[in-house]
């Protein structure tokens, strides 16, 4: 009898265990979050809102704090940034596992355009208008970063930027909200992969929320002042696209928006992001931005700064220590409810559960996987392809390009020819253990790899990137005279654009344009490569040199990618994602401007019109501009209807023909103009595009759909509306090179 009872007890006990296990497994993430939250002290909750920089590198003003390990042991830290590699992350995570509740740390990093394999800067990738390529770039960056212990990248930066004086223009997708939104989505999908929690996925972070790119004067960290209409129509759409793509986190921005710092801006973070848009992830402040509200003059001290930020919806405090130092007191003083703290903590714990860190805090610390992924040869192959797709052909007079690989003697001149790390741009991740001289293909090496072994490649530096020393000119000129063709590689230093790198003068720096003039004077055919993180001004070069490639900063594979384009193994297909001004005096300059009451009909029309008396209104190179080694003909534009109701659609079809001798890709752009609106409407807006590949002589028919969404805009009441009236439809190879036109009417 007794043995029977024992067996029954064992059975019941096992059943109870198993059902507990099943319940535990079945528990949803929110239930798991609540089960942890219930155990936490106020100090431990505040700890989850506290993020520190690791000690070995910095991307902002450093606060010396040698007590981080102890604070982590006490559960007073929830995340570290700038902590990379499985060894280093494992060592910090082990310390976190010594804390009372063993809540794992989150490791965040600026993996902006690649981890070990550095891809082109984001503005260059945007020039590819190739969403698959852009997504694959982010996918590889995530794979390498996640394999190296990183859970979270502070990317994509989705700030619309119309002022190339602002150094961070290099980090985004340019001036247009339509293109910027599609790229934001591609990057979020790339970073987050199939599912958060997979060991090849990292959390994305849409930043900087919001309107950081509209800093007055293009001066970083400066104020932003704009109408809510402009905010909703131009600066918010890429953030909404990132959120709709599933972005796990947002980062707020340093700027004040209409007088209220974004970090303490309830309208942005609570009303829009967490309210209207129902964002369920968490918001991290930008480096020290909570404490910087004191400098803004929006709060008196760190106590008020913490109150403002947590109330406004800023969940995690990057490096300011305002939350750590003040939130407990604010709760005690009944200024901040525990519910507000709990909401922020739950958002963060939810992501730690989704990443699987509670099940295995070391799941991203596999050294073997790290070595496999950061040394995957496929990654650099793809990086080379993305880089070639990002190069914009600005000029090619008399088809000087592509060059022949059998050219007898080539002179390769300029300060960037043999540079290594300059090719990486401002936001590259640089790992101490990597020998970048072996990883980066310089421009010199790329051309050497490409040309015939019997060809001669001559070199002269000519001058520095900046400064006014011309001592190298004579040698450069002599070198040019010995050659059949001269390639000149000039531009910025990579630290001339990026964060805190605003420039009032964005002309080609130093005496580089004088070097180009001197080489051009030899009478040799000249090709100029311009390397930069922003649109530069180089009017003489643009007007006088026969061939120009804008090569941005293309990453590890720069040299081979540039050579692929120079020698025709890749036919350039990129288009500018941002307008290039003639002079700084035109800035801000962008294609989707309003017509004004007195539009200038042309450059000579100065009779009481909206124009400069000393400079053309038009840009040097317009948005959407880029040439090819072949030429494309647009024909046979057809609209399925000429009148539609708001619930109807128009099918737009047209033919694109490749009339040249080589295959190529064309970015066919469709612009609309709403002729009359209750709010004036831009003279044109990009509403769709298609990047298509055509073999020589091939013709393809492409189709676009015009629907209500593409006709809508924010009216004076900030309602997303369509209004009946006439629309112009423009199909172009750039925003100014309109090849086909038609019009249609929206009726009630």
Q: What region does 64 belong to: left with phi over 0, alpha with psi -120 to 50, or beta?
A: beta
**C-beta closer to ligand GLC: residue 51 or 308:** 51
Q: How far is the CB of 207 from ligand GLC (least distance, A)?
A: 6
How far is 574 from 291, CA to CA, in rounded Å?
42
Q: How far is the CB of 83 from ligand GLC (least distance, A)?
A: 12
Contact call for residue 317 and ligand GLC (CB under 6 A): no
**How open is the CA angle 735-179-646, to the nearest 5 degrees?**
85
How far is 107 from 105, CA to CA, in rounded Å?
6
Q: Is the dihedral of CA 305, 309, 310, 315 positive or negative?
A: negative
Contact call for residue 110 and ligand GLC (CB under 6 A): yes
Neighbouring C-alpha atoms within 13 Å toward the C-beta of 214? 19
| Binding residues with ligand GLC: total (CB under 6 A) | 9
**C-beta closer to ligand GLC: residue 44 or 256:** 256
Contacts of 338 (CB under 8 A, 6+ apart): 42, 331
Q: What residue has token string 């208008």?
A: 129
Output the six-digit token pair for 654.
């047209």
Q: How many CB atoms lie within 10 A of CB 707?
A: 15
Does residue 547 contact residue 527 with C-beta atoms inside 8 Å?
yes
Contacting residue, 207, 384, 395, 503, with ligand GLC by CB under 6 A: 207
In the shown chain, the binding pattern of residues 331 to 360 toward ligand GLC, with x for contact by CB under 6 A and - for none, equals: ------------------------------
Window 118 to 157, contacts with ligand GLC (CB under 6 A): 154
Phi, psi of 60 (to 5 degrees): 180, 180
Q: How far is the CB of 116 from ligand GLC (least distance, A)?
A: 18
Q: What residue has token string 């918001």?
A: 283
Contact call for residue 44 and ligand GLC (CB under 6 A): no
Output the six-digit token pair for 38.
């219930």
Q: How many CB atoms lie within 10 A of CB 491?
A: 28
**C-beta closer to ligand GLC: residue 161 or 465:** 161
In the shown chain, the binding pattern of residues 431 to 470 toward ligand GLC, with x for contact by CB under 6 A and - for none, equals: ----------------------------------------
H helices of 150-301, in order, are: 177-192, 228-230, 237-244, 266, 292-296
**C-beta closer to ligand GLC: residue 172 or 624:** 172
SS3 67: coil
Which residues in 324-470 belong to E strands, given as ranges? 392-396, 409-413, 456-460
Q: How far is the CB of 407 from ligand GLC (least distance, A)?
A: 43
Contact call for residue 677 and ligand GLC (CB under 6 A): no
Q: How far is the CB of 59 from ligand GLC (least distance, A)?
A: 3
Contact call for residue 665 and ligand GLC (CB under 6 A): no
Contacting residue, 60, 246, 356, 599, with ligand GLC by CB under 6 A: 60
How far is 114 from 425, CA to CA, in rounded Å?
11
In the shown chain, the binding pattern of residues 151 to 190 toward ligand GLC, with x for contact by CB under 6 A and - for none, equals: ---x------------------------------------
Q: How far is the CB of 401 from ligand GLC (least distance, A)?
A: 36
In Å, how far are 50, 56, 242, 314, 515 from 82, measured between CA atoms? 15, 8, 23, 20, 40
**C-beta closer to ligand GLC: residue 287 or 727:** 287
Task: Identify whether 271 is a catalytic site residue.
Answer: no
In Å, how far are 505, 606, 607, 620 from 613, measured between CA atoms? 21, 7, 10, 17
Distance in angstroms between the alpha carbons of the first and the last residue of the chain: 86
Contact call for residue 81 and ligand GLC (CB under 6 A): yes
In Å, how far are 93, 95, 104, 551, 738 from 362, measured between CA atoms? 7, 12, 9, 40, 55
Does residue 337 contact residue 115 with C-beta atoms inside 8 Å?
no
Q: Rounded to a whole number, what is the largest CA-CA distance in the chain?
A: 111
Which helix (H) or strand (E) segment holds residue 529: the answer is: strand 526-531
In the shown chain, the binding pattern of residues 466 to 505 toward ligand GLC, with x for contact by CB under 6 A and - for none, equals: ---------------------------------x------
Phi, psi of 284 (to 5 degrees): -105, 140
In Å, how far are 258, 461, 465, 675 from 470, measured between CA atoms? 47, 11, 11, 53
**C-beta closer to ligand GLC: residue 249 or 658:** 249
Q: How far is the CB of 211 from ligand GLC (least distance, A)?
A: 14
Does residue 525 contact residue 486 with C-beta atoms inside 8 Å?
yes
Q: Which of 125, 135, 308, 314 is nearest to 207 (CA)?
A: 314
Active site residue: 163, 256, 286, 315, which one?
286
Contact call for residue 315 and ligand GLC (CB under 6 A): no
Q: How far is the CB of 499 from ligand GLC (least distance, A)?
A: 6
Q: How far is the CB of 168 from ligand GLC (least distance, A)?
A: 8
Q: How far is the CB of 157 from ligand GLC (least distance, A)?
A: 6
In the shown chain, the binding pattern of residues 278 to 307 toward ligand GLC, with x for contact by CB under 6 A and - for none, equals: --------xx--------------------
**How open is the CA angle 301-304-308, to the nearest 5 degrees?**
135
How far is 731 from 740, CA to CA, in rounded Å?
5
Contact call for residue 59 and ligand GLC (CB under 6 A): yes
Q: How far is the CB of 110 from ligand GLC (least distance, A)?
A: 5
By annotation, the residues acting in catalysis are 286
Which residues are near ligand GLC by CB under 6 A?
59-60, 81, 110, 154, 207, 286-287, 499
């Amino acid at each position: 009898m007794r043995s029977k009872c024992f067996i029954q007890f064992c059975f019941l006990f096992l059943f109870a265990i198993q059902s507990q296990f099943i319940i535990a497994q079945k528990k949803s993430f929110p239930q798991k979050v609540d089960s942890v939250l219930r155990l936490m002290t106020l100090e431990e909750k505040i700890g989850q809102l506290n993020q520190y920089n690791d000690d070995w590198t910095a991307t902002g003003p450093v606060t010396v704090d040698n007590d981080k390990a102890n604070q982590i042991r006490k559960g007073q830290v929830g995340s570290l940034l700038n902590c990379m590699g499985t060894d280093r992350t494992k060592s910090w995570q082990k310390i976190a596992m010594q804390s009372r509740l063993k809540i794992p740390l989150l490791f965040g990093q600026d993996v902006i355009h690649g981890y070990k394999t550095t891809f082109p800067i984001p503005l260059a990738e945007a020039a590819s208008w190739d969403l698959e390529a852009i997504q694959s770039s982010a996918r590889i960056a995530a794979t390498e970063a996640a394999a190296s212990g990183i859970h979270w990248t502070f990317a994509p930066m989705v700030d619309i930027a119309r002022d190339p004086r602002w150094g961070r223009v290099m980090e985004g997708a340019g001036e247009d909200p339509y293109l910027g939104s599609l790229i934001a989505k591609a990057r979020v999908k790339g970073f987050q992969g199939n599912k958060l929690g997979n060991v090849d996925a990292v959390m994305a972070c849409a930043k900087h929320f919001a309107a950081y790119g509209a800093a007055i004067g293009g001066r970083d960290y400066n104020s932003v002042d704009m109408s809510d209409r402009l905010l909703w129509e131009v600066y918010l759409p890429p953030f909404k696209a990132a959120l709709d793509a599933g972005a796990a986190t947002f980062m707020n921005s340093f700027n004040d928006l209409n007088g209220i710092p974004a970090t303490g801006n309830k309208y942005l973070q609570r009303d829009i992001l967490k309210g209207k848009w129902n964002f369920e992830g968490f918001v991290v402040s930008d480096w020290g931005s909570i404490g910087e509200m004191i400098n803004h003059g929006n709060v008196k001290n760190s106590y008020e700064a913490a109150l403002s930020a947590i109330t406004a919806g800023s969940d995690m405090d990057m490096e300011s220590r305002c939350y750590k130092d003040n939130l407990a007191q604010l709760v005690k003083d009944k200024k901040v409810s525990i519910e507000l703290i709990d909401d922020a903590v739950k958002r963060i714990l939810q992501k730690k559960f989704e990443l699987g860190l509670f099940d295995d805090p070391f799941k991203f610390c596999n050294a073997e996987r790290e070595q496999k992924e950061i040394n995957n040869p496929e990654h650099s192959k793809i990086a080379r392809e993305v880089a070639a797709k990002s190069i914009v052909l600005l000029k090619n007079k008399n088809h000087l390009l592509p060059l022949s690989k059998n050219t007898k003697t080539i002179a390769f001149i300029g300060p960037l020819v043999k540079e290594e790390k300059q090719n990486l741009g401002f936001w590259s991740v640089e790992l101490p253990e990597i020998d970048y001289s072996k990883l980066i293909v310089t421009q010199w090496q790329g051309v050497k790899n490409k040309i015939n072994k019997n060809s001669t490649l001559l070199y002269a530096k000519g001058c520095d990137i900046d400064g006014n020393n011309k001592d190298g000119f004579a040698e450069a000129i002599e070198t040019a005279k010995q050659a059949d063709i001269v390639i000149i590689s000039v531009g910025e230093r990579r630290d001339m654009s990026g964060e805190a790198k605003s420039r009032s003068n964005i002309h080609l720096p130093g005496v580089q344009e004088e070097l180009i003039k001197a080489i051009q004077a030899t009478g040799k055919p000249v090709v100029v490569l311009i390397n930069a993180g922003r649109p530069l001004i180089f009017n003489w070069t643009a007007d006088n040199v026969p061939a120009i490639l804008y090569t941005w900063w293309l990453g590890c594979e720069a040299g081979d990618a540039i050579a692929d384009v120079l020698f025709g193994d890749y036919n350039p297909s990129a288009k500018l994602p941002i307008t290039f001004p003639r002079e700084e005096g035109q800035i801000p300059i962008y294609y989707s401007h309003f017509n004004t009451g007195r539009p200038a009909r042309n450059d000579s029309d100065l009779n009481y019109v909206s124009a400069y008396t000393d400079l053309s209104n038009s840009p040097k190179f317009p948005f959407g501009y880029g040439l090819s080694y072949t030429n494309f003909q647009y024909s046979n534009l057809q609209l399925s209807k000429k009148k539609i109701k708001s619930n109807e659609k128009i099918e737009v079809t047209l033919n694109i023909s490749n009339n040249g001798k080589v295959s190529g890709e064309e970015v066919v752009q469709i612009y609309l103009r709403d002729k009359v609106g209750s709010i004036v409407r831009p003279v044109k807006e990009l509403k769709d595009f298609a990047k298509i590949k055509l073999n020589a002589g091939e013709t393809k028919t492409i189709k676009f759909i015009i629907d209500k969404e593409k006709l809508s805009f924010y009216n004076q009441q900030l309602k997303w509306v369509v209004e009946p009236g006439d629309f112009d439809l423009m199909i172009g190879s750039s925003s100014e090179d309109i090849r086909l036109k038609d019009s249609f009417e929206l009726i009630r």
